[in-house]
Amino acid sequence: MTVARFGVMLANLGTPDAPTPAAVRRYLAEFLWDERVIDVSRPLWWLILHGVILRIRPGKVAKAYASVWQEGGSPLLVIGRRQEQALRARLAERLGEEIPVELAMTYGTPSIEQAGLRLRDAGVERILVLPMYPQFSRTTTAAVFDRLARALKACPQLPELRFVRDYHDHSAYIAALANSVREHWRHNDDERGRLLMSYHGIPKRYADAGDPYPRHCETTSRLVAEALGLADDDWQMTYQSRFGREEWLKPYTDHTLRAWGKQGVKHVDVISPAFAADCLETLEELEVENREYFTQAGGKTYRYIPALNDRDEHIELFAQLIEQHTRGW
């Protein structure tokens, strides 16, 4: 059997196994216990998490998941599987050989441990880890690194590793985002609303402590706006998905949309560049919940532009990143 030169671990955040309170509770217990995500003192946070959050939130979150659930699972998992398959095919086409690609989730399944075992079973001794987070954050990309490091503690032999840190300003990524917006405009007879680029937020103190995430988001937004030829008042970037009571990165997406509706802005196009695949935060929070905020405040047309998902340009971006980071292997 011919052994591949290397394998690829395609990493994303994770998802519950089912849209039920029990499955969501298991998922949230794992996700929210990660110190990269919530860095509150462990004893205090355990009491808050298990005494309050995991008693209240799973039912509500399960209903939200149920509203977007697909036959093959959550959108993040279904799209992730399509990305995995498309990337295998693209790498075989570009490199002339079969490269193992395994989808891995930091929380839930398929886990990083499970993906690593499948790569090991394929005889892979070199692994490129590609977190599907264009902008680096301690809460996402660094959490992948931590989970992988913990998983490797049990391995008698370590694979050779390389790790893609971010690709927030990669030319192929910017072009793919800009082209998705142009395609959206063409499908709507070139009718253009004010463009809102909404990113998942993080607590402000994480950025104050050195997390480069907001700087990366700002760079991505500026480059996309430049590629589209937008004037400064044609677009804005914001942050969504706040959790808890402390201050997060501003401006907030929901507050901005309410303000625009009240100010007389009638047409809005919304894109979320930080998400490599559509998920609960885009399909329910952005497309449904925030649409209501805008229209109830006086806005008229609200259009969500899907994430890059398994678009050809997105898969090509991943292939370019892989070629770039595996030179010499």
List the binding residues. Answer: 200, 281
Tokens for 300, please give them.
């008229």
The H-assigned helical ranges of 189-279 are: 204-208, 213-228, 253-263
Cα–Cα distance, 284 to 20 (Å, whole number) = 16
Binding-site residues for Fe(2+), in ranges, read 200, 281
List C-alpha distances in Å: 287 to 163, 298, 302, 320: 32, 17, 8, 30
Distance of CA 3 to the CA centre of its chain: 31
The H-assigned helical ranges of the chain are: 21-31, 42-48, 54-68, 75-95, 112-121, 141-152, 171-187, 204-208, 213-228, 253-263, 280, 290-296, 312-325
**Angle in degrees, CA 124, 88, 129, rounded to 5:** 50
Contact 133, 272 (CB under 8 A): no
Helix crossing, 141-152 with 112-121: angle to 10°? Answer: 60
Residue 82, classified by CB atoms within 10 Å of its CB into exposed (0-12), middle (13-18) or buried (19+), is middle
DSSP secondary structure string, 85-138? HHHHHHHHHHHSS---EEEEEEEESSBHHHHHHHHHHTT--EEEEEES-SS--T
Tokens for 177, please give them.
């985002």
Report the SS3 class of residue 10: strand
**Angle in degrees, CA 205, 105, 79, rounded to 5:** 110
Rg (CA), the chain: 20
Peptide bond into 110 cis (omega under 30): yes
Phi/psi of residue 322, each to 5°?
A: -65, -45
